[in-house]
Structure 1
Amino acid sequence: MTDIPIPEIVAELRSARRDWRLAQGRSLEPRGRDLPSREVLRALLADLHGLLFPMRLGPPELRQDAEDFYVGSALDQVLHTLAGQVRLELRHTARHAHLSPRETDARGDHIVRQFAWSLPATRRLLDTDVLAAYHGDPAAHSVDEVLLCYPGVHAIINHRLAHTLHGLGATLLARLIAELSHGATGIDIHPGASIGGSFFIDHGTGVVIGETAVIGERVRIYQAVTLGAKRFPLDAAGQLKKGLPRHPLIEDDVVIYAGATVLGRVTVGQGATIGGNVWVTHDVPPGAHLTQASAQGGAAEPASVFPSPSPSLIHGVSP
């Protein structure tokens, strides 16, 4: 491999980095890394799981009479590490927002303090999710099995933590946590999505929940479900408009079966059931049952009511 021109490749890579930084209006002055670290956040998540559920997700040698000591020690380390990562994000953002280092550090301290105080409520909310998974799956033999084994439970733990950070303004950290969770579980939940208690994702692989989705209480969804956007409006300059409400509203006690797709700012009413592989782009009334016409064996509503990529195969069916 001695014939590979390493110095020339290094020089070309340096030139590519320089061109990118100039195009983005960034400084060429040498400095250290100024963005949060995926590796640090991965370890941070493991510690957060442990201090939230010490006897199940904490150290294997932990005894119950030492729980408080472990939780206190882990929490101190987590908050110290989190503070460093929050400051990195805020200082990076401050270059564009023209905030002083003193202002960014004060804001970072506030975020970490609020996050710390949110953890007891997060634990209580997660308890409802664990119970929902246990009661919602006949294959589950115990809540311990659910907590140790189910990817949907680990995804919602990560989401609850990321959602808190997102709401406090640490949006990049929240997105990094969401993507680490996505890689580990196959479940893609944007940290901006609002999800009520007793939420259960069964199996989970391929689930996508968009940024502005709002999910109520006691909702259950299965693998390959998408709660996505239908269209992406542009501004006067032809750029995508950011942050607009564009994902579904899922009311309480809804069940969405495998492969279903719900797109746009539509409402799925309380107690409705969306069958497998159904494509929904219009509001669904409370208590409705939507299935594929071929599986229902009855008359289907017109395809224009619940459009799909293949109207001849997938239709909305009233109860």
Structure 2
Amino acid sequence: MFEMTIADVVDELRGVRESWRERQERHDFANREFPSRDAIAQVAAQLRGVLFPLRLGPPDLRQENEDFYVGHTLSQALQTLAAQAGNELRFRNRLFAQNTPDIDAQAGEAIRRFAGTLPGLRRLLDTDVLAAYHGDPAARSVDEVVLSYPGVLALIHHRLAHELYVQGLPLLARILAELAHGETGIDIHPGAQIGSGCFIDHGTGVVIGETAIIGKNVRIYQAVTLGAKRFPKDAQGHLQKSWPRHPMVEDDVVIYAGATILGRVTIGAGAVIGGNVWITHDVPAGSHVHQASVQHERNTRGNPSAAPADVVV
């Protein structure tokens, strides 16, 4: 019934692909050499179970079988991850005309190092779980937090993704991070550095950029942006990458819903950032910033003695 239509569509799609490859000067991809999003999604589910077996593992798991399950599942996950890491390195070789020797051995070593970080990563996640439990009066138990809080899921993915990023696998890391982004609405670049005891409450619309640095015991509410203020270009007109352009948030800071903090600014320890404020300057430690104080500061700029003590923007 659709034979002629399908044949026409197939022909046209081939033409589109060939045109794209011609414009991008990419003619040497005989086989798929890109990491698989589906494979990374499977690994993510396995690693969540490895980290929290009785909560995020299979429903029939019993405590006496935990070690067997963790060992078996971790072995499967790491094998898949090593294969995907090899795909990323081969893809990078072709894309940037590099010649990395012994790609499979290099990929395997990177994943071995990644595996060695998992116990410390679990300990770090325990601090995030406790921060959520103690920081939310609606939380009935730490189990509820692990099983249902989107901020915790996002941090599990982020902490895994960040370790892959550190091991030189930014594409695998980005895919892992975007899986959580799609599920939770929380967008954390895997390059961001986040200290222990982080609590992302509600979380929808939170954006944390690649070079952001967040200290210990920081609480972030929904729709908060830790973003870049500007995007300088190089001599060829391309955006410069990897330079520090996102905020640094020190220990014990609270950032309420809708706040936007842009550029390489520092939010001092213990500061409280109110909802829906826009910040592009440093905030001293212990300060309180809110909409009324920001408006007053704008009206009294140039006359510091007229500004209240909590005006810092």
Q: Common fold, TM-score beyond 0.5?
A: yes
1:2 shift after superposition: 4.6
Q: Distance in 2 between matches of 1:303 and 1:266?
A: 22
Structure 1 portions without partners, runs of 5+: 306-315
Cα gap change, 1:52 to 1:9, in 2 (>3 Å): same
1:1-319 paired onto structure 2 within 5 Å: 2=2, 5-27=5-27, 31-95=30-94, 96-100=96-100, 102-293=101-292, 300-302=296-298, 317=311
Q: Distance in 1 between matches of 2:127 and 2:161?
A: 18
Deviation track 1:84-127 (CA, whole Å, cap 9, x = no partner) reads 11111111111224224x43222101111001101000000000
**For residue 150 of structure 1, what is the amino acid of its counterpart?**
Y
Question: Match of 2:222, SS?
Answer: coil
1:24 shift after superposition: 1.3
- TM-score, with normalisation over the residues of structure 2? 0.93
Q: Distance in 2 between matches of 1:163 and 1:286?
A: 27
- Determine if contact 1:212/1:246 at 8 Å carries over to the other structure: yes
Question: Match of 2:238, SS?
Answer: coil
Cα gap change, 1:304 to 1:23, in 2 (>3 Å): farther
Deviation track 1:260-287 (CA, whole Å, cap 9, x = no partner) reads 0000111000000000001101000000
Question: Match of 1:227, SS?
Answer: strand
1:317 shift after superposition: 3.1
Q: Distance in 1 between matches of 2:299 and 2:105?
A: 55
**For residue 24 of structure 1, what is the amino acid of its counterpart?**
Q
Match of 1:312 in 2: none
Q: Distance in 2 between matches of 1:191 and 1:302?
A: 35
Q: Distance in 1 between matches of 2:299 and 2:122?
A: 44
Q: Distance in 2 between matches of 1:281 and 1:261?
A: 9
Deviation track 1:154-192 (CA, whole Å, cap 9, x = no partner) reads 000000000000010010000001111100111000000
Question: Match of 1:302, SS?
Answer: helix
1:11 shift after superposition: 1.5
Question: Match of 1:5, SS?
Answer: helix
Q: Distance in 2 between matches of 1:117 and 1:28?
A: 36
- Determine if contact 2:283/2:312 at 8 Å carries over to the other structure: no
Cα gap change, 1:171 to 1:142, in 2 (>3 Å): same
- Determine if contact 1:252/1:270 at 8 Å carries over to the other structure: yes
Q: Distance in 2 between matches of 1:36 and 1:199?
A: 30
Matched length: 304
Cα gap change, 1:112 to 1:3, in 2 (>3 Å): closer
**For residue 44 of structure 2, what is the amino acid of its counterpart?**
L
Question: Match of 2:297, SS?
Answer: coil
Q: Distance in 1 between matches of 2:89 and 2:72?
A: 26
Question: Match of 1:145, SS?
Answer: helix
- Determine if contact 1:21/1:28 at 8 Å carries over to the other structure: no
Question: Match of 2:244, SS?
Answer: coil
- Determine if contact 2:284/2:312 at 8 Å carries over to the other structure: no
Structure 2 portions without partners, runs of 5+: 302-309
255-264 or 2-11, larger mean C-alpha shift:
2-11
Q: Distance in 1 between matches of 2:282 and 2:107?
A: 41
Match of 1:309 in 2: none
**For residue 302 of structure 1, what is the amino acid of its counterpart?**
R
